[in-house]
Amino acid sequence: MPSSVASDQVTLTVNGAPVVVPFAATVAVAMMIAGQACRTSVNGEPRGPLCGMGICFECRVTIDGKVHCRSCQVLCEQGMEVNTEK
């Protein structure tokens, strides 16, 4: 797994597509830059971050296969694979 090099940007994939984000951006920010919902609600609505501080759980995503990660509390890493939670 390559670690992020000394650069001001990081590339990761969101739902399979590459996204470039500023260094030290959170995964929630990457989802918003990619224009992708973080999760799909019980009734099937798209949801994105609400509180920005780890309380609301609306921004939870799957990161490198790990489910229910609150994306606002995780920093992006080079090569990370993030998916909308269904």
Q: Tell me the helices (H) and strands (E) count for the chain, helix number first.
A: 1, 7
The span from the CA of 11 to the CA of 26, in Å, is: 12
* CA–CA distances in Å: residue 59 to residues 14, 31, 65, 80: 13, 9, 16, 16
Choice between 66 and 86, CB closer to other proteins: 66
If binding is defined by CB under 8 A, does position 78 make contact with other proteins?
Answer: no
Residue type, 80: M
Minimum gap (Å) between residue 27 Cβ and other proteins: 10
Instruction: By CB under 8 A, name the one of 19, 26, 34, 82 that touches other proteins.
Output: 26
If binding is defined by CB under 8 A, does position 18 make contact with other proteins?
Answer: no
Instruction: By CB under 8 A, name the one of 32, 34, 61, 82 that touches other proteins.
Output: 32
If binding is defined by CB under 8 A, does position 47 make contact with other proteins?
Answer: yes
